[in-house]
Amino acid sequence: MKKIYLLFILLLGCYPVLAQQKVFIIPAPQTIEYGKGQLVWNAPLNIVCSSDLFDEANLLKECLINDYKSASFINKTGTKNADITLTIDNKIGSEPTGAYELIIHSKGVNIKAAEKSGIYYGIQSLLQIIHKGESGLALRKLTIKDFPAFQWRAFMLDESRNFKGKEVVEELLDRMGRLKMNIFHWHLTDDQGWRIEIKKYPELTKIGSYRDSTQIGGGIKNRIYDGIPQSGFYTQKDIKEIVKYANERHITVIPEIEMPGHATAAVAAYPWLGLTGDSLKVSCSWGTNYNVFNVASPRVMQFIEDVIDELITLFPSSVIHVGGDEVRYDQWEKSDYVQEYMKENKIFSPSDLQVQFTNRISNLIKSKGKRMIGWNEITGEKLHDFQLNEDKNETIQKLADGTIVQFWKGDIGLIQKTAEKGYDIVNSFHEYTYLDYDNNQIPLEKAYAFSPVPEGLPAHLRTKIVGGGCQMWSEYIPSVEEMYGKIFPRITAYAECFWTLPQNKNYKRFEQSLSYLKSNAAIYPQTNKVQVKTKK
C-alpha cells in the first residue's frame, strides 16, 4: 500500500505532555471532555478489532509505524492487553453517518462507531493528538463525541486543463481522509482535455487528451502560449485502482463529465458530436468556448448514454456530475437542425433547451439507479452576461425533480430560490471556495468564515443544504508544487467548515491547531517523485 503521510506530525524528540494540556484537532470535534492525567505507550501497540475492521486497523497500523516508528500488531476481539480497541457499536447511532466516540483512559484507547466510516474518523482524530517524547507516545485522557455537520464534504480537482496523474491524486486522497472529507469530485473532461478512457470511443483519449500548447497569459485578443505539448489520461484500470484507494479512506469519487458545453476536446475527437462539422483541435486557451454538443441528435444522445454506462462500471458512487456550466448558445441559435428540433418540442429559448437536455440526462441517469448533480446553470438561471445577450427569453422549463444543484455563481439568494423548489444543494460559492484564487482573494480567515448554509436562509430550508465543496481549478496552475501551495493550508479550513457545527467553530482555536503542523512534509505532499505527464 502507498505510504500514508500523517497530516499532523508533531515535533520529534522531547515533547512534554502536560496532564492539563488541551488537544487540537482539525476539523474540531463537536465535544471534548477532558479526564485527569495521561496515557503513555512505550511498547509495541496491540490493536484489537473484529475481522470486518481489519482495513481500518491496517491503515492505523501503517500510520503508527511510518509516523511514530511504533511497532503495532492487529488481533481479533477478545485478545487481552489491548492498547487500541476498535468496535462497531450500534448504540452510537448511524445518523449522521460518520459519528464516533473516542475514549482515552488509563488502560488504552477505545474507538466506537455504528459503521466503518466512524471508526476511520475516530482513528484520524487519534492520530492528531498523539505526542511523541523521550518516554514514548503520550495522550491526554479524554472523551470525544463527534459527528459531521454535513454529509457532503468535498474537494474538487480539475485535471482536464492540467493533468496531474495517479500519484498526485492518491496523495490528495490521503490528506482528504485525514481531514474527514468524504467526496472527491473529479473534473475529468473539458475543452482542454478528455482524461478518462472510454473503451467504446477510443478517439476521446487518442485525440481528446492531447493539445499542442497551453495558454500561459494574455487576454482574449492577445493570448500567450508556452508551445509545450501536453497529454495524459486515466485508463480504466487506473480509475478502478484510484476508486479502491479512495474507498479505503471512506471517500466517494464522483466523476464530472462536462455537457452540453465545455465540449471541445470531445468534438475534436468526434466532430459529429458538435454542430459545425469542422475538424477541431483540442483547445489550448482558457475562457468560455463556443463548442457545444448537438443535443438534438439521437446519435449524440446515444454517445452520452454509452459514456454514462461505462462510468457506472467504474464509479460505484450513487451520483454522477454532468457539469452544465457556461454554455454558449451561439451554435444552437445558428443551427437549422437545432432550431427545427426546438420548434417540434415547443422549446422557446436556448436556456430552455439546456434545461430540457439536462432533464433527459437526469432521467437517463435515474433509470440506471443513479442521481445527477450539475452546476447551478442547470436550473435555467442566467448567470453570465453572454447569456443575457444571447437568450433574452425567460426560462420556463423546470429542472427534473431529484437533481442535485451545485451552487457556484450568482446572487446568493438563488440558493433560497433553488431550495424552495425542493432541490438538494451543494454550496461551492466561488468567492469563498475556489482554491485557484490566490491567498489575497481568499485568505485563510475568509476560507474559514465560509458556511455552506448562507446567512438568512429560513430554518425550514436548511436541510436542503447537503454540504459544501472547495474547488481546485487548474488553468494557470501547471505544476504540482504551485497547486499544493494553493490548496494547503486552506483545505484545512474548508474541512472544518464542512465537519464542525458553526457554533463550535473558533478561528483563534483553529490557528492554534494549525500551529501543530510543524513539518512541511506533513503539510505539503512531497513532489520530487511526482511529475506532470507531457507528450513531446
Q: Are 249 and 173 in contact (CB under 8 A)?
A: yes
- DSSP readout, 371-420? EEEEEGGGGT---SHHHHHH--SPP---PPTT-EEEE-SS-THHHHHHHH
- The residues annotated as belonging to the active site are 190, 262, 326
Per residue in 224-263, is it b (16+ CB within 10 Å) or e — as a string? eeeeeebbbbbeeebbeebbebbebbbbbbbbbbbbbbbb
Beta bridge partners of 85: 48, 110
Q: How far apart are the first and last CA of the chain?
A: 32
DSSP symbol at 211: B
- Sequence-distant (6+) residues with CB within 8 A of 221 are none
CA distance 141 to 40: 10
**Vertex 427, ends 423 and 431: CA angle to 5°?**
140
Q: Which residues pair with 373 in a beta bridge?
A: 321, 404
Cα(434)–Cα(476) distance, rounded to whole angstroms? 13
DSSP designation for 90: G
Q: What are phi and psi of 217, to 5 degrees?
A: 175, -175
Which ranges of 190-335 does DSSP label H, i.e. alpha helix?
Answer: 203-206, 236-248, 264-269, 298-314, 330-334
Locus of grid cell 502507498: 2
Which residue is it, cell 446567512?
455
Residues 155 and 470 sit within 8 Å (Cβ to Cβ): yes
Residue 9: phi, psi to the nearest 5? -100, 125
- Give 479's DSSP letter: S
Cα of 497 vs its chain's centroid, Å: 14
Distances (CA, A) of 478 to 157, 215, 355: 13, 11, 34
